Amino acid sequence: MKPLVDCRLYAFVDTAWLHGRAPEVVAQQLCDGGADLIQLRAKKSTPGEIRRMAEAILPVTRGANVGLVINDYPDIAREVGAELCHLGQEDFFDAGHVQCSEIRSQKPEVRIGLSTHSLEQAKRALAAGADYLAIGPVYATGTKPTAKPVTLEYVRRAAANVNIPWFAIGGVNLENLGDVLAAGARRVCVVSAILNAPDVAQACAEFRRRLE
């Protein structure tokens, strides 16, 4: 995969939005559309099911030089050979972790991304040694309906204070992407606006075009 600093479009294979489609088929469409990273997020699946999905997706992402991110499960990321793992505040700090080195594996290293919802959380994640941050949710989103939007103000503060790769996430679509970029974002995570599009690869490509 390309260096994180060069990644712009972070897409998802989210089982809540697959609507019966095979994860590896959607992953191929995302790769065809120009995604730099793809996260496998399967909140209602068992670890065994997630492992099998990851094993089916990994040859697709590897073939396209795209990084695969496993949500919530560092052990699965290590076992299948995924390049990255993403953890929420509750999965990292609330679980008692202080440094990403505690869960980051070696040979090859699994890189760790952390969700943040405020500048204070971002600073704590930076001190913990995260490889990238998710900044959001910027807008209200059906992906996490109970999460309070952090608004573009946090995006502006992240642009001024976060010195590692970070991605704006949460309700980002083609209509508001310009505002997100104007606030200082250079990288975005997109879930439903791509997965619910009639043509996943085409939607992905349009985000890619706007980001570049």
Mean pLDDT of 113-133: 97
Main-chain dihedrals φ then ψ at residue 40, nearest 5 degrees:
-90, 115
Q: How far is CA 10 from CA 7, 38, 146, in A?
A: 8, 6, 22
Q: Is the CA virtual torsion 46, 40, 5, 65 positive or negative? A: positive
Contact 38, 65 (CB under 8 A): no
Mean pLDDT of 189-199: 97
The runs of H, that is alpha helices, within the chain are 23-33, 47-63, 74-80, 89-92, 119-127, 151-161, 177-182, 192-195, 200-211
Average per-residue pLDDT for the chain: 95
> What pLDDT does residue 190 have?
98
Q: Which amino acid is at 189?
A: C
d(CA 136, CA 115): 8
Q: What is the pLDDT of residues 136-150, one digit of tens each?
A: 999 987 666 677 889
How crowded is the C-beta side of 171, counted as CA atoms within 13 Å?
19
Q: 161 in helix, strand or coil?
A: helix
Q: What is the pLDDT of residues 162-182, one digit of tens each?
A: 999 999 999 999 999 999 999
d(CA 75, CA 12): 19
Q: For each of the domains in the chain, give its residue range(s) and CATH number, in order of start.
A: 4-211 (3.20.20.70)
Q: What is the pLDDT of residues 22-77, one digit of tens each?
A: 999 999 999 999 999 999 999 999 999 999 999 999 999 999 999 999 999 999 99
